[in-house]
Amino acid sequence: MRTTQYLLSTLKETPSDAEVISHQLMLRAGMIRKLASGLYTWLPSGLKVLRKVEQIVREEMNKAGAIEVLMPVVQPADLWEESGRWEKFGPELLRIKDRHERPFLLGPTHEEVITELVRKEISSYKQLPVNLYQVQTKFRDEVRPRFGVMRAREFLMKDAYSFHLTEDCLEKTYQAMHQAYCNIFDRLGLEYRPVLADTGSIGGSTSHEFHVLADSGEDAIVFSDGSDYAANIEKAEALPPQGERPAATQNQEKIATPNTHSIAQVCERLKIDASQTVKTLLVVGANAEGEEQGVVALVVRGDHELNEVKAEKLENVFSPLTMANEAQIQQAVNCSAGSIGPVDLNIPVIVDHSAAHLADFVAGANEDGFHFTGLNWDRDISHYQVADIRNVVEGDPSPCGTGKLSIKRGIEVGHIFQLGTKYSEAMKAGVLTESGKHETLTMGCYGIGVSRIVAAAIEQNHDKFGIKWPAAIAPFQVCVLPMNMHKSHRIPDVANKLYTDLQQAGYEVLFDDRKERPGVMFADMELIGVPHVIVIGERNLDEGLVEYKNRQTGEKQTIKIEDVLSFIQQQMV
């Protein structure tokens, strides 16, 4: 491709509304343009990358025996009423009406549509198992779309759905998909980790997320240094402290702590460590039907963080987890949020294992301006439950029993679920078994954020000059960069020949034939991140040489003109 016949659209300035590096670089390198909030047009270079990711995903899905279909973007509401999600799904589900005022939606996911298809097309156990996938545009009406295509409203996703007669059969396909995902991310050339994950609103039992590791990742993921254990921090179990709780040595004492609202302020004033305090958070409670009812106190150690996913799974806590508002707090404890503590509360109190292991600890006195010191469980606080409701921290013992935990940041790019019968039961999808019995299908589902991978790859692979694409997904493989082409005949002749030769050898070549200053051309190619750059300049030509630069390593060397093709071929191996 000649740049003069292409839409390069690079930008010198970093757009002010782009917060993360991938968003900045995708705009600057001419990969995407914003059409409206959370809606992006893919420019030619971006689309090339997107299609390469899509193709690798497709090939590995096919290799794993999945069969490709294509379901509509627009879905009828009645299927979502059947599954119960028409009501339950939040405003991220964009509900629309057609000209006849019939309700539809823009698909954020396709469980209902695939289950509708399968219950009509598959009637016998002989047709099972089956794993159907698509690569399709999805829409989620995010309240605050951000980070470019990382959290867009319209995005490209690969979603697969498998159907089985037994849990064992599901487990096999689940493992095959786990392996296929590893193959995909290996081929993409990304550093990634599969981690245990929560199943969230999609439902089901077992679930793994696939994370591209990057410091800018929104998720914290947790690893054992002694085993393969890896999990999203949402999911990672915090083991209860070992041994007996220390005995009480202090008396409960109420002390004045004016203008002390945070754990940090309490610690400073009392010259203690945060690990000797607890913080008490009030959240909305739930009755046996899961409806909102009253408030519940959650207690974690002062140096720990509440794990919302763990908390909202507790029986008497409303899901999704909702912090109590000021009125609810006033009604329950008659003090401000910074002064709450577990003593003498007449609401349910749930205490994290680590907090419940403390003796002689400090907590709010449920009275503005006062804290208790010398608190001890059972002696001073009698009604409470103990549960795992905190995030693990660096150095915690691994829940697998071996090693200690460390934490890294990740970008979620894939998620696989053992769904079970959540959708097939609600939508009555079943088959006749060998013995003629009607059996409800067991489902798995497997998603990859195709467009998000493009952004994640950049978060992981960039430097101050621009993108450093992994070879498999670079928009172009080679760039031919003639310096001051219009000033000589030799340079365009050599450049044209190399361009033609490399193209004929099957490479995707970007030939920068613009009349731009060398500095501009270099900067653009670094920004776009073409892995292999051939620079053609007067001085080297005198000796029959061109310069080669590797974008990944930064290495430069001169090569004989006649060796360029074989040299590039060697680089590709």
CB of 163 to a second copy, least distance (A): 11
Given 137, 175, 205, 325, the residue binding a second copy (CB under 8 A):
137
Q: State the Cα–Cα distance between residues 567 and 311, nearest whole angstrom.
A: 58
Q: State the Cα–Cα distance between residues 262 and 119, nearest whole angstrom.
A: 55
Does 33 bind a second copy (CB under 8 A)? Our answer is yes
Question: Any idea how long the chain is?
Answer: 573
Mapped onto helix, strand or coil, the DSSP state of residue 240 is coil
Does 99 bind a second copy (CB under 8 A)? Our answer is yes
CA distances from 535 to 5, 143, 350, 498, 558 (A): 20, 47, 66, 11, 9
**DSSP letter assigned to residue 258:** T
Tell me how many residues contact a second copy (CB under 8 A): 50
Strand partners, 284: 295
Given 60, 111, 154, 308, the residue binding a second copy (CB under 8 A):
154
Does 120 bind a second copy (CB under 8 A)? Our answer is yes
Helix (H) or strand (E) holding 466: strand 466-467
CB of 65 to a second copy, least distance (A): 6
Nearer residue to a second copy within complex by CB, 83 or 216: 83
Given 70, 288, 327, 573, the residue binding a second copy (CB under 8 A):
70
Given 9, 179, 316, 550, the residue binding a second copy (CB under 8 A):
9
CB of 321 to a second copy, least distance (A): 21
Strand partners, 462: 467
Strand partners, 73: none
Does 104 bind a second copy (CB under 8 A)? Our answer is yes
Q: State the Cα–Cα distance between residues 285 and 321, nearest whole angstrom.
A: 9
Q: How far apart are the first and last CA of the chain?
A: 23
CB of 97 to a second copy, least distance (A): 8
Phi-psi region of 178 (alpha: psi -120 to 50; beta: other; left: phi over 0): alpha
Does 42 bind a second copy (CB under 8 A)? Our answer is yes
Nearer residue to a second copy within complex by CB, 94 or 182: 94
Given 19, 63, 72, 265, the residue binding a second copy (CB under 8 A):
72
DSSP-derived pairing of the beta strands 253-256 and 438-440: unpaired
Stretch that binds a second copy, among 98-106, 328-336, 474-482, 532-540 (CB under 8 A): 98-106
**DSSP letter assigned to residue 150:** G
- Taking Cα atoms as reference points, which of 184, 160, 71 lies closest to residue 446? 160
Does 91 bind a second copy (CB under 8 A)? Our answer is yes
Residue type, 164: H
Does 569 bind a second copy (CB under 8 A)? Our answer is no
Q: State the Cα–Cα distance between residues 185 and 191, nearest whole angstrom.
A: 8
Measured in whole angstroms, the distance separating CA 268 from the mean position of its chain's CA atoms is 37
CB of 41 to a second copy, least distance (A): 5
Does 69 bind a second copy (CB under 8 A)? Our answer is yes
Does 169 bind a second copy (CB under 8 A)? Our answer is no
Given 35, 432, 520, 572, the residue binding a second copy (CB under 8 A):
35
Given 26, 49, 106, 332, the residue binding a second copy (CB under 8 A):
106
Helix (H) or strand (E) holding 169: helix 167-188
Given 71, 149, 306, 358, the residue binding a second copy (CB under 8 A):
71
Given 59, 76, 261, 397, the residue binding a second copy (CB under 8 A):
76
CB of 419 to a second copy, least distance (A): 19
**DSSP letter assigned to residue 390:** B
Q: State the Cα–Cα distance between residues 329 and 199, nearest whole angstrom.
A: 31
Does 180 bind a second copy (CB under 8 A)? Our answer is no
Nearer residue to a second copy within complex by CB, 117 or 248: 117
Stretch that binds a second copy, among 69-77, 194-202, 388-396, 562-570 (CB under 8 A): 69-77
Does 65 bind a second copy (CB under 8 A)? Our answer is yes
CB of 9 to a second copy, least distance (A): 5
Contact (CB, 8 A) for 285 and 294: yes
- Taking Cα atoms as reference points, which of 62, 43, 57 lies closest to residue 1? 43
CB of 147 to a second copy, least distance (A): 17
Does 47 bind a second copy (CB under 8 A)? Our answer is yes
DSSP-derived pairing of the beta strands 39-42 and 32-36: antiparallel
Mapped onto helix, strand or coil, the DSSP state of residue 535 is strand
CB of 313 to a second copy, least distance (A): 27
CB of 522 to a second copy, least distance (A): 20
CA distances from 148 to 18, 48, 55, 497 (A): 7, 17, 22, 39
Stretch that binds a second copy, among 65-73, 421-429, 436-444, 536-544 (CB under 8 A): 65-73
- Taking Cα atoms as reference points, which of 107, 105, 160 lies closest to residue 137? 107
Q: Which two tokens stand for residue 217?
A: 């990742």
Does 44 bind a second copy (CB under 8 A)? Our answer is yes
Nearer residue to a second copy within complex by CB, 140 or 371: 140
Given 14, 17, 63, 74, the residue binding a second copy (CB under 8 A):
74
DSSP-derived pairing of the beta strands 230-232 and 466-467: unpaired
Stretch that binds a second copy, among 94-102, 209-217, 481-489, 549-557 (CB under 8 A): 94-102
Stretch that binds a second copy, among 115-123, 254-262, 282-290, 387-395 (CB under 8 A): 115-123
Q: State the Cα–Cα distance between residues 106 and 136, nearest whole angstrom.
A: 12
Q: State the Cα–Cα distance between residues 447 and 119, nearest whole angstrom.
A: 21
Task: List contacts with a second copy (CB under 8 A).
Answer: 4-7, 9, 33, 35-36, 39-44, 47, 50, 65, 67-76, 91-92, 94, 96, 98-99, 104, 106, 113, 116-117, 120-121, 126-127, 130, 132, 137, 139, 141, 143, 153-154
